[in-house]
Amino acid sequence: MKAFTSKDLWDVVDLFFKSNNLALPQIASYDDFLNVSLTQIAADAPPIIVDVEPKSRKEYKFTRVTLRVLKIYPAEQFAKNKPNDCRLQNSTYALNFNARVQITTQNFGDEEVLKERTFNMECPLCPIPMLLNSAHCYTNQFPLKHIRQQRVRNDECPFDEGGYFIVNGSEKTLIASEVNRSNRITVLQGDAKNPKELISAKVVSSVPERALYCKIDVKLEYVNDGAQKQPMLMCYMPGFDTPINVFILMMVLFPGDSFTDQQLLQIISPDNDPEIINVAKLSYQFCINQGINSPARALQLISQQFKPVLQEAISDQTITELMKTKNHFATRFLPHIGTDQAYNYQKCAFIGYMSNLCIQCHLNKRGFDDRDHWGSKRLQLAGSLLHDLFRRCFGDFCGSVAKEIQRKKISFQDDNQEQIFRNQFKITAVNLISKQLCSSLATGNWRTGRVGQNAGKKTGASQNLVRLSYAAAISQIRRTTSGIEESSKAIGPRILHGTQFGYLCPAETPEGAKVGLVKNFSLQCRISVGCKENDTKIKQILKNFQYEGEICLKNLSQSLQGVKVFFNGQWFGCVKLEHAKLLTRHLKECRNGGRISFETSISYNEEAKELVVASDSGRVLRPLFALTNEINKDKLLENSKLNICRDDIEQAMKKQDGWEYLIKNERRLIEYLDPYEEEQSLICTDLMTFNKNQEIIQQIRSGNYSLIPPTYTHLEIHPCLILSAISALIPFPDHNQAPRNLFQASMGKQAVGIYALNFEKRFDTQGINIIHYPQKPLTQTRTMKYVKFTDLPAGENLVVAIAIYTGFNQEDSLIMSHASVDRGLMRCWYILSHEATCEIESRSDLSKRDLVQKICRPVDNVIHPLDRNCEKYLQADGMGKIGQSIRQGSIVIGKKEPKRDSYDRIGAEGNLYEDCSTIIKNDEIGYIDNIVLAREKRDNYSDDSGSLSYSAKVKVRSNRPPQIGDKFSSRHGQKGTVGMLYRQEDLPFTYNGVTPDIIVNPHAIPSRMTIGQLLECVGSKVGAMLGQIVDGTPFEPPVEGDSHEDYLTSKLFKCGFQKHGYEATFCGFTGKILNYRVFIGPTFYQRLKHMVLDKVSARATGTVTTLTHQPLEGRQRYGGMRIGEMERDTFIAHGAAAVLRDRLMFSSDGTDFLLCKTCGMIAWHADQKKISTLSQPKCYVCDDKAEFCLVTMPYVCKLLVQEVQAMGVQMKFEVQTE
């Protein structure tokens, strides 16, 4: 068998990315929502029962929700609903769904049903927004080998990964949110603010499909038993204002009419641990002393304290309080275990186990759980979020349909009753489901909560997809947020946790207040979807597992001893200690053979005596190579081998889905692990370490060994896969200081490149940049091609010199070659789209030629036109020609609206119009790049709508060559702005005439320690000389030598250069050789979106705010620049008092006032604009004794005087006159 090499490893990575789209976490979750959740929610909804006639009843039961497929070629149903058409028409990209309704009609006699008839009917339900690139999306309806060509033909980018929605023409993405796991116990230390609370064991029991939710908290806390305070077990749960003693709760749940103290204590400590029993006895004895010694007495006491919540309130007066309490514990208490009284003993055992964990922590026999452990987190992606929202909307829909049908009193004898039902379903569903889904996606406000209750709101669930670059869009789709407020001072959720390794990127997180709260998935991360069929199979395997003819799993009524088996949080049973490993191995064999899903987690904790099986959705997973180990009689590792070999890879590469072949192979080639299963594994970090371990094993076989080899269970596919899609673009990141990689992860998303190949067909409202001459980096990482950076690069290879030259590159500024800029270096387009919409209430208005909004030249019958010369450059349709130049003040889209009078009437003053054209502002200079006129379908789900609205979109393109003030960055967090542009003859040059494109200050290197940039420069220099791409993949050993530095420097030396990249250079001004060596070579640089033309702001005297008379705020509104405290201090330090006075008063809100020198108050004057010595001011306080003087002060000073007067404080001015 051939040895497993690095090439084989990268072939496996190729297979992984061929089957795993970068947007797969969102797409897989959404597909599960469409294929499973829609039908499940509809089927679980209670039937709609309508009593139409006195002795007639009709029952509607939803059985299935499916996509409405037309009876033609499948792609034809998308003919009017293609993604890019939706962008242009400001409509929502959605597909129509049908609901199959089972209708049962019943006619009653006096006491029985006389006639019953049941039939199924397909009813149009509603359109549901479609996630791009999902299974039913238009872009996926073509053969796989032609899919890219078909996307190009339909004006889509062939590299678009999807994973976002189009709502009202805007691209929206749902951000994955972290939530704590449900149905699993978490033991935490007591609240420090509550001294009596010692330990708390919490569980959130929930059944999302049925909207059942119950939070249980068992606490060990000090309770006064009359003589002294004793630690006792108390349970906090919904429906009870005061805590309940755990033993009282166990008595209620215990089957039968009697029990012994030994039976209850054995539930808490099945192993009869005397220390645990002694602590538990204190709580039990307290119950006995209170006279609670039977289930009936315990139920009576609990019933007196029970206060049912609104949803559980029972109006039937014949039901007693005891029956209400019993019903609550059967259906609402710990619902994940069961919702029937048959599960009461399992619930009793579960409460006992929670009590056991509390006591173990109290006795220091067990540690506390870590709430930041990523095994205890679940992620809500597109499917999970839409599931919660749709369930709520569908409940409202069912209630509304029932009311409408009841109100209309449709008779069973109506011939067109089916059509009436269909229409009613469609109208109600569109209003209550489609519009609510679109509204939530558009605003990000998510309605959460249970059906029938007032739902809380979750904000920020959706965001506009950022299209600054291709990498920025991918990063946003693969982002997760913790939901913790930015202002939170908690450190735990922000820092890197060990259990995040391999699942979340250690480098990509925002700077500032959101650091650590917003994270990104690693390249190899997968999110589990979950499946009910898989859950059923796992339960059968657990129940039927036998060893030597004996069923190993005992249910809780049979035994509570041994290893506890948990499945999705439910205590499923117990197995003997000797059978636990056999059951674990059997489950893993079933997983590897494909009998159960590869997403299933199987974790056996021998120390805690727990076998935890999880198959729920929202868990993070990652793939690893599986190893097989052989242990000798001395318990030393005798043999360790990879299960996968070259033959397996070759076999997988021949198949359509080779990755699925590898993960579902019975030989256990690759396994998906979650953080809990990973904790019970030992993972080798890389192939080199594994090979060294093999050498140690060989020494053991020969009998000469000095080291004991670790028993690895798995091998990393490659360590670089722990990075995110953005961090994976950084060459040699393992040689950089950690914060620099974090900065590059932020700046890499701001780099100017080509964000999509269909940018000419798009009209993005946010300003975008397109670089003219993108280049592939000379130094690349192996993962770069999977993020499409080689196809859509964002930057260019520049000759960079690290040197001091004339002083214009101090403090992170750069010196740039003007000649290189003239030749096209880092040039880009800035593209901004302008839009105007015309809304016409009725189509008949067009035929009557009434006064309506029009997109045209705003000339005829227009009062106060914005530009009287617009006829010279606007066409009759109100838009200019493609290629026409425009500048500030030009009209880009002409539009006029009918003038309304004071009563909001149109036409009362004649056929007059107002000019509502879109004009160019903010010093924009450019050319019209493209124009489109489209009919809008915003929120319109029918083509038969009487209203009509259409929009005109004009795309303006401007050229942006680099200039002083523009921002640039390397791929290592070394950012800077252009400080000077020098002609080529003024720049330093090497002995062979090479002049640098950029000169960077050498002080940027030592403190920041970006050694990766130096290695990239040397590597790119080698690549340029040899005509090859240099590998900068992190954690990848070099081809030759012990380190990348040795390998690259030796290669550079062979090319005839100084091995460390230094060269002698000549001064461009004098021609003399410089007395220092210059580090020079090619480096990949990025131009960032921050350009000086977007920042420039100047203002003369202009519009001011009404209240304060100060200039407006913001560049878009031609606002002023605020002088803050730091600027004020600077003027004071320079002694520029007059400048400070000018900036703070005369340039802002300086106003002339008349003051009364007698009382010191502001005088009244009839007209403030005409203050003079001839006018007659008046002081109401002093009257004839008043003496006036004219002063200048800020207007807000007068405002302050008036505001404090309202609080009863009088401010007076003292005026000194010469």
Q: Which pLDDT score is estimated for 76?
A: 45
Domain 1105-1148 sits in CATH at: 3.90.1800.10
Count other C-beta atoms under 10 Å from residue 667's C-beta.
13
Whether residue 875 has pLDDT greater than 80? yes
Q: Which pLDDT score is estimated for 451?
A: 43
Tokens of 474: 């991918």
Whether residue 751 has pLDDT greater than 90? yes
What's the CA gap between 1108 and 1200, in Å, rounded?
Answer: 10
Shortest CA distance to 952 belongs to which of 939, 935, 929, 928?
935
* Strand segments (E) across 939-1061: 948-960, 967-970, 975-982, 989-990, 998-1000, 1030-1031
Q: Which residues of 287-302 are buried (b: 16+ CB within 10 A; e: fewer)?
A: beeeebeebebbbebb
Whether residue 710 has pLDDT greater than 90? no
Q: State CA 644 to chain mean position distance.
A: 35
Q: Which pLDDT score is estimated for 548?
A: 83
Segment 949-954 mean pLDDT:
90
Whether residue 943 has pLDDT greater than 70? no
Whether residue 964 has pLDDT greater than 90? yes
Catalytic option among 11, 155, 812, 1142: 812
Quick: pLDDT tens for 798-813.
999 999 999 999 999 9
Q: Which pLDDT score is estimated for 443?
A: 92
Which amino acid would we find at residue 228? Q
Quick: pLDDT tens for 1060-1107.
999 999 999 999 999 999 999 999 999 999 999 998 888 888 889 999
Whether residue 620 has pLDDT greater than 60? yes
The class of domain 186-368 in CATH terms is alpha beta
The fraction of the chain above a pLDDT of 70, given in percent, is: 92
Segment 487-495 mean pLDDT:
91
Q: Which CATH superfamily is domain 1149-1218 in?
A: RNA polymerase alpha subunit dimerisation domain (3.90.1800.10)
Q: Which pLDDT score is estimated for 315?
A: 47
> With bands split at pLDDT 50, 70 and 90, how would you rate the model's confidence at 929?
very high
Q: Which pLDDT score is estimated for 313?
A: 45
Quick: pLDDT tens for 70-81.
443 444 444 457
Whether residue 563 has pLDDT greater than 90? yes
Whether residue 1147 has pLDDT greater than 70? yes
Q: Which residues contact 1001 (CB under 8 A, 6 or more apart)?
A: 802, 804, 809, 810, 811, 812, 813
Tokens of 348: 């009793």
Whether residue 384 has pLDDT greater than 90? yes
What sign has the CA pseudo-torsion 457, 459, 464, 466? Answer: negative
The structural domains of the chain, with segments of one domain joined by +, span 13-172+379-450, 186-368, 470-525, 527-721, 729-762+770-827+964-1087, 829-960, 1105-1148, 1149-1218
What's the CA gap between 277 and 290, in Å, rounded?
Answer: 20
> With bands split at pLDDT 50, 70 and 90, how would you rate the model's confidence at 208?
confident
Domain 527-721 sits in CATH at: 3.90.1070.20
With residue 124 as reference, give the H or E element that holds it: strand 113-129
Lowest mean pLDDT among 279-288, 315-324, 675-684, 853-862: 315-324
* Strand segments (E) across 1133-1208: 1150-1156, 1188-1194
> With bands split at pLDDT 50, 70 and 90, how would you rate the model's confidence at 859?
confident
Quick: pLDDT tens for 670-680.
999 999 999 99
Quick: pLDDT tens for 1005-1064.
999 999 999 999 999 999 999 999 999 999 998 877 778 999 999 999 999 999 999 999
Q: Which residues contact 946 (CB under 8 A, 6 or more apart)?
A: 842, 843
Q: What is the pTM of this model?
A: 0.91
Helical H segments across 823-961, by residue range:
844-848
Q: Looking at the domain 829-960, which fold is it? A: OB fold (Dihydrolipoamide Acetyltransferase, E2P) (2.40.50)
Whether residue 452 has pLDDT greater than 50? no
Shortest CA distance to 325 belongs to which of 346, 302, 296, 344?
302
Q: Which residues contact 352 (CB under 8 A, 6 or more apart)?
A: 246, 250, 267, 268, 560
Name the average pLDDT for the chain.
88
What is 729-762+770-827+964-1087's CATH number, 3.40.47.10, 3.20.20.10, 1.10.1670.40, 2.40.270.10?
Answer: 2.40.270.10
Whether residue 575 has pLDDT greater than 80? yes
CA dihedral 1097, 1101, 1107, 1113 (to 10 degrees): 0
- Say if residues 819 and 984 touch (Cβ distance below 8 Å): yes
Q: Which pLDDT score is estimated for 632?
A: 72
Q: Which pLDDT score is estimated for 74?
A: 43
* Strand segments (E) across 643-698: 670-673, 683-684
Q: Which pLDDT score is estimated for 368?
A: 94
Whether residue 314 has pLDDT greater than 80? no
Q: Which pLDDT score is estimated for 309?
A: 60
DSSP string, 326-347: HHHHHHTSSTTT-SSGGGHHHH
Q: At what angle do helices 321-331 and 246-253 cross, to 10 degrees?
A: 90
Q: Which pLDDT score is estimated for 124?
A: 83
Quick: pLDDT tens for 582-617.
999 999 999 998 899 999 999 999 999 999 999 999
Segment 908-915 mean pLDDT:
81
DSSP structural state of residue 879: B
Whether residue 318 has pLDDT greater than 60? no
CA atoms within 13 A on the CB side of 459: 2
Which amino acid would we find at residue 1040? E
Whether residue 742 has pLDDT greater than 90? yes
Q: Which pLDDT score is estimated for 28?
A: 95
* Equal CATH topology for 1105-1148 and 1149-1218: yes
Highest mean pLDDT among 121-130, 554-563, 860-869, 1070-1079: 1070-1079
Q: At what angle do helices 24-32 and 382-408 cross, to 10 degrees?
A: 30
Lowest mean pLDDT among 95-109, 662-676, 1099-1113: 95-109
Segment 688-700 mean pLDDT:
85
Quick: pLDDT tens for 816-831.
999 999 999 999 999 9
Query: Known catalytic residue: 812?
Result: yes
Q: Which residue has the higher pLDDT, 8 or 910?
A: 8
DSSP structural state of residue 278: H
Lowest mean pLDDT among 146-150, 344-348, 517-521, 1057-1061: 146-150
